[in-house]
A and B are shown apart, each in its own frame.
Chain A
Amino acid sequence: EAQVTQNPRYLITVTGKKLTVTCSQNMNHEYMSWYRQDPGLGLRQIYYSMNVEVTDKGDVPEGYKVSRKEKRNFPLILESPSPNQTSLYFCASSLRLASYEQYFGPGTRLTVT
């Protein structure tokens, strides 16, 4: 089954404790992206990657890091989480740059206390 998977689905952590949210897709997609979803603000792009070892900032990259060492994986790293990073996070992938249909994962709900 073609899908984007994220782990964990739920995470409660404390300020300053480094965490990683994993994302993996099995569709051989070149393009992957991370979004955060907040009430009334829709989804905002954090980082994106156009291919292995190619990443760039989206709209709200502060406090986040990403890496793309393999085509299928695109982890999101919070080196020192803060309460304002409490949010619902989605990973997405699409086949190629010119293909705009993005396939979203199920989401990771993060709470930072």
Chain B
Amino acid sequence: QQQVKQSPQSLIVQKGGISIINCAYENTAFDYFPWYQQFPGKGPALLIAIRPDVSEKKEGRFTISFNKSAKQFSLHIMDSQPGDSATYFCAASESENAGNMLTFGGGTRLMVKP
């Protein structure tokens, strides 16, 4: 049973469009929400992260929106580019968790068409 549910599983967007990936969680103790980007043949790499004291965080074309009451957060990629084609994972963690364990969503494979 996944504690973090991610949708959609796959996404095709035209170049210049907006890519939106959504995640929902159940554990209210989660207080750190990163997004990881993974290119084929590579390990995941941290893209952007948010803590629940803010509702939005923006870094370049990437924005995380966070809705604490709905227990949902999403990644928006503005002006999507073919180079953004990758698999994206949302994740969540508890600060008090001694194991520093990240709970990952199932992943979204994004394809940006030229």
Contact = CB atoms under 8 A, between A and B. Distances in A.
A97 B100 contact: yes
B28 interface: no
Contacts of A102: 46, 102
Interface stretch (A11-19, A39-47, A66-74, A77-85): A39-47
Residue among A42, A97, A98 with most chain B CB within 10 A = A42
Interface string A73-113: 00000000000000000101010011011111111000000
A100 B102 contact: yes
A98 B95 CA distance: 7
Interface stretch (B14-22, B37-45, B58-66, B69-77): B37-45
Question: Is chain A's binding surface mostly helix, strand, loop or mixed?
Answer: strand
Task: Please provide the 5 A-B residue pairs with the shortest distance between their CB atoms, ordered closest to farther.
Answer: A104-B43, A42-B104, A43-B104, A42-B106, A101-B46
B102 A45 contact: yes
A101 B102 CA distance: 10
Taking residues whose C-beta sits less than 8 angstroms from the other chain, chain A's interface range is: 20 to 34
B93 A100 contact: yes
Contacts of B91: 42
A106 B41 contact: yes
A106 B99 contact: no
B25 interface: no
Interface string B78-114: 0000000000010101010011111111110000000
B45 A104 contact: yes
Contact of B99 (A4, A48, A98, A107): A48
Residue among B42, B44, B98 with most chain A CB within 10 A = B44
B86 to A, nearest CB: 13
A106 B43 contact: yes
Contacts of B9: 40
